[in-house]
Structure 1
């Protein structure tokens, strides 16, 4: 019963927090964290403790999988060097700098590195909520970094915890070997599962069964990888990226629509729930702490937060100059970005639920049964840093983006127009052949041909206006009227859909038709409405 109560409270807070965030124009993670914190101190609600395995084995695979399905592999390849440096080298550097500061604040070296590993990775959940504010290249770098860096951090975390509790004795060479093995094994598991999933999908012809496989896929990648001692994070991301390239011709349209709807809603709920749960955890984190312990935790939190942010800023403003000195190719010079352009990706280094889950996973005792010194401080500082970064960076990031003067990538819109023109042209050229194959009457063929020709004229006008080829004001106005007429037609069709929907609902209310008939007709109207409105993207 307690679990159901927590589930309902979390769901209500996600709903209320999301509405408030839009009304107040604040970052949703910040509002959800604040609501969770406030509610966590109410009688009967506090004391919620999130098992680390829930995040690491339930939330994380699902969120990483959907992120990997909706990211651009081409953009990742273009900026692979930058992404690799940020998701591997920067994680290791951050873990080291945090460990040095934590040791100076009183933690012994093993526990200082535990804290460093916990706070080294950015959070994919928090990053995804702000990525839409950025141009395509910056957005992809930020999302790709947050996808992969968990794998690096969790390897370092496992080693640091083993040393802290006295079950491991590993030097820098051992850590490097573990990283290589973890990444190579994760990639192998992810690739193997992706090809296996495609093979199974080719034999499934039921939308529900295909989507059951879709739900299982991230866990089928994550669990075997972890059991084999390699990175489950890398396995999930590799599997997702591979499937985006292979499965397009395997998955049916119905399956894709249903799957997209499921994952969009599921990841929204999981994202929101994570921040609410982090807020609810505060009660358990501070319970039983003395005033001196809390004050020491606050001081340590501020120092560690400054270290985390400072490390990322220094790294982001030194490595580009090293790359420029070593790589002077014209292609590299064309991709250079100034300080303003780099600042948003450096400032968006949020930490989140993965860091808290890792901190909660630190054992309470050593191998010989004695209490593990410093665990409470690690937990308190982790929660504090998550909160400080969400508040400070979350509130200031829009101003930082404005200061950076980043321009949206014009190639993105050009590529969309090109793809739409090519898609329409291919359909128009295939009309005669397909009509012959299907034995379609000529009058039907003519109607379809007219609709394609109308759409091709609209696309031509869009391209001409986008290219700026027409400069005469009268010609520009005439072409804009063509697009305005098309938009007006779409608006009229959308308005008529509401009348059609009301008509079939009235028939159901009058008991003239059955609910099953209503659902089928409503589904048809929904498809038409989606076609007129276009498909929403997650970016």
Structure 2
């Protein structure tokens, strides 16, 4: 423990440094993480870090899925539910089937069951990777919602395929009737359990005298509880976490106060970031043992790399084919919602670019690591090391090749600018203007009598009137914002000097520093 703990702490520091480097280079940090995970495996003398495969899903997946459900807009998901649903379920099954057939044909001793197992592992695109890559280019909100919603739901569908394939490989048989009834229970039961537990946790937050720390701790516990209960009832823990997370997300204003939301956001952002980094490093540390296991099975490294490249090509091809199929179906059955391109040529290339967004990541790694080392009868799980190696190659290639080229393709082709959407600045301006008008009417209608006698209310009303009359340029331009932030920094320096007085309560100083931090963040958002 004394040797592993410093190594784990050093790993976290490296993850943070790599994120800083990625931000400076303006590339997605998962790309650097997966490359670092590969390079770190060649360092001699590193301690062996092993995690029980049964705990992989339970440790990593619930919080990652829960945070993704809180981040996405459920309103936007409902708006684009057709394309999200088709990519999250139909495309995932088509991709898994394609991988199963190709690997069964080209890889010696690779059964259809193992092919579906590998297909279930590598079929879901990663929301974290896609979001980290697309943040460096401007894409419409509708497009990002489709990608995020797809990544959220296809985790559930792909892991259901993974579970059925795991049973088929372990038992050597697959009964369609039992599989169909089990599938319905996993889908409906998982979603139902998630919604019920989501409602229960809302009541816990509302009825118990919680504060920001306890609210945050409860939100950290909730996804694990949802996942565990659903798995104990033999339904989908992944769907339970997704359904429960969406339920809680849409009601966050009802049971969380502003402090819980502000602080919780930072906690969850850091927590999920570290989890993502650790998963990539774990697979990197286990890579030498995986390569050793491949060679013990008589498979050369070059051959295994070739299999990984083959599966990557199948994944990209299946996604591009699915994108064109979705475009054709939309033009035939729902032409009113089809993207309006400036030319037929741009419309033709739109599915091609959408098919290029399928980067794989943490969920695929967690699923591959969750494959048991042995079967129920004690025999070694067939081709486990090869499946792990192919998964790593797929993630490496999709992140590096697609991840590095996608921003450049989007910027040069401007294909993601095909949806006629209102600009973000215009939408923000309308909301702000409406908010000021609402605030002005509220004060005038409800406190009109008090306005004449209360100096504080008069000042508040005058403040709102000035903001209504002023535009963004003359109310808070960049020069004024810089002066304001400089003034806040001088206030921090003053409080630091005052805090040296032993008679001053430091808690009061901290409260005032926190208020200044909130004020600075508010100014940055203007």
TM above 0.5, one fold? yes
Equivalent of residue 255 in structure 1, options 240, 253, 260: 260
Assess, with a 3 A threshold, how the Cα gap between structure 1 residues 441 and 395 changes in structure 2: closer, same or farther. Answer: same
User: Counterpart in 2 of 1:492?
Assistant: 483
The equivalent residue for 1:505 is 496
**CA separation in 1, counterparts of 2:372 and 2:273?**
31
Structure 1 residues 50, 340: closer, same or farther in 2, change over 3 A?
farther
Aligned to 1:205: 209
3-state secondary structure, aligned to 1:430: helix
- Aligned with residue 452 of structure 1, among 445, 456, 464: 464
Structure 1 segment 112-511 matched on structure 2, within 5 A: 112-132=115-135, 133=137, 134-166=139-171, 168-171=173-176, 174-207=178-211, 208-290=213-295, 292-328=299-335, 330-331=336-337, 338-405=347-414, 406-407=416-417, 409-410=421-422, 412-432=424-444, 435=447, 441-458=453-470, 461=471, 480=473, 482-483=474-475, 486-509=477-500, 511=502
Partners in 1 of 2:199 and 2:61 — Cα distance? Answer: 22
Aligned to 2:19: 18
Is the contact between residue 99 and residue 311 of structure 2 (CA under 8 Å) also seen in structure 1?
yes
Greater shift, 444-453 or 42-51, is seen at 42-51
Tell me which residue corresponds to 1:111: 114
Partner Cα separation in structure 2 for residue 486 and residue 375 of structure 1: 59
Look up the SS of the partner of 2:251 in the other structure: helix
User: 2:175, 2:157 → 1: CA distance?
Assistant: 16
Deviation at 1:501, TM superposition (A): 0.7
- CA distance in 2 between counterparts of 1:43 and 1:438 reads 75
Counterpart of 1:28? 29
Displacement of 1:333 in angstroms is 7.1
> Alpha-carbon deviation of 1:12?
1.5
Asked if the contact 1:88–1:152 (Cα under 8 Å) also holds between the matched residues in 2, the reply is yes
Q: 1:112 to 1:513 in 2, by over 3 A?
A: same
SS at match of 2:203: helix
Q: Does 1:38 align with 2:39?
A: yes
State how many pairs are aligned: 512
For residue 79 of structure 2, what is the aligned residue in structure 1? Answer: 78
Take 1:206 and 1:360, find their aligned partners in 2: how far apart are those partners? 37
How big is the shift at 1:529? 1.4
Quick one: structure 1 residues 241 and 364, their matched pair in 2 at CA, closer, same or farther if it must change by over 3 Å? closer
TM-score, normalised to structure 1, is 0.88
Deviates most, 61-70 or 20-29: 20-29
Aligned CA RMSD, in angstroms, stands at 2.6
Pick which of 368-377 and 245-254 moved more: 368-377
1:39 and 1:46 in contact (8 A); partners too? no
Residue 507 (structure 2) pairs with residue 531 (structure 1): no
Q: Contact 2:117 / 2:165 at 8 angstroms: preserved in 1?
A: yes
Q: 1:49 aligns to what SS in structure 2?
A: coil
- 5+ residue gaps, structure 1, are 463-479
CA distance 1:248–1:378, change in 2 (3 Å): same
Alpha-carbon contact 1:123-1:352 (below 8 Å) kept: yes
Cα displacement (A) at 1:451:
0.6
CA gap 1:327/1:530 in 2 versus in 1, 3 angstroms: closer
**CA separation in 2, counterparts of 1:203 and 1:4?**
39
Are 2:294 and 2:385, in contact at CA under 8 Å, matched by a contact in 1?
no
Partner of 1:476: none
State the Cα distance separating 1:436 from its structure 2 match. 7.4
Residues 11-41 of structure 1: CA deviation (Å, up to 9, x unaligned): 0221121122123333211111122222222
SS of the residue aligned with 1:157?
Answer: helix
Rounded to whole Å, the distance in 1 between the matches of 2:134 and 2:184 is: 29
Deviation at 1:141, TM superposition (A): 0.8
Q: For the structure 1 residues 49 and 256, does the alpha-carbon distance in structure 2 shift closer, same or farther, using more than 3 Å as the test?
A: same
Match of 1:465 in 2: none
Contact 1:13 1:35 in 2 (8 A): no
- CA deviations on 1:137-195 (whole Å, 9 max, x unpaired) are 11111111111111111111111111112265223x54444333222112211211221
Distance 1:373 1:264 in 2: 38
The CA deviation at 1:62 is: 0.9
